[in-house]
Structure 1
Amino acid sequence: MSQTTEGTTPAAAASGTATWTDPFRAHNFKLMIQGVTEGHFIECSGLDITIDVDEYREAGQSQVVHKVPTITRYGDVSLRYGLTNRDELWKWFEETVRGEIKRRNVTIVLLDAQGTQPVIQWNLRDALPVRWKGATLRATAREVAIEEIVLSYETLARGA
């Protein structure tokens, strides 16, 4: 089925129904810490929220199990990036290792297909680095050296 330039299929345009919107591409994103761009990463994973529930049966209604939401848990975010001489993330991690806890607000920004305009962002409030993994070094390797940092955070909000 072909699409018109406005994003509607010809059949939808003729009938006056909803327009089609292409999903965002996952390959253009960047990380901002306290509003400052810290770089572009090759992978971001672990953005998730889970709400735990307690189950109970009401007296006289044993066939019905009620579920009550309890604790909201936020998953740790793993960021993988090509090793460069920029060391802001390493310094932040080092401070945390020394006990100098500096929670920061972190924003992961998804960019449009051209990589120029933000389309969605995830705001991680009070984040801190909890894990660092160094690059695998191998004399016969031809690929880019990749480091990884894992951030834990208090809350997650999605915005545009």
Structure 2
Amino acid sequence: MALETSYLWIKAMHVIAVIAWYAGLFYIFRLFVYHVQKRDEPAVVATLEVMERRLMRAIMAPAMIVAIAMGAWMLVKQPALLRMPWMHLKLGAVFFLLGYHGFASYTRKRLLRGDYFISERACRMINEVPTLLLFAIVIAVIVRP
């Protein structure tokens, strides 16, 4: 049985939103690396703060909301997906992505206050988390182990 056209449109919007969200997830901690590096250069820090705010508010948050909404809508239209083990793996990875996004927001707020609680090295390492989760999500959805 072919999937109905509306489901495919929802799926397309989900994929587009995930790509946009991931663009931000990949970039935000890279900006934090520069923010920590340049903490003694107020003009540079001010520019980075604007970039971080725009990235999180104009790209990451809306894309995350659309990705989650479209994903939920697909599950409503195809509830059998929730019985598939690969979907559990995917949803688990998405849960961690939401945590990563939340931690990025928390980090940004602390940096705005001048609280450099995190090192440049830690930002570089944390920046790799979305890549690891991407592997889990893509393998779950495509390979369906």
Q: Report the TM-score, using the length of structure 2 for normalisation.
A: 0.19
Higher RCO (CA-CA < 8 Å; seq separation 6+): 2
The structure whose Rg is larger is 1
- Larger helix proportion, structure 1 or 2? 2
Q: Which has the higher strand share?
A: 1
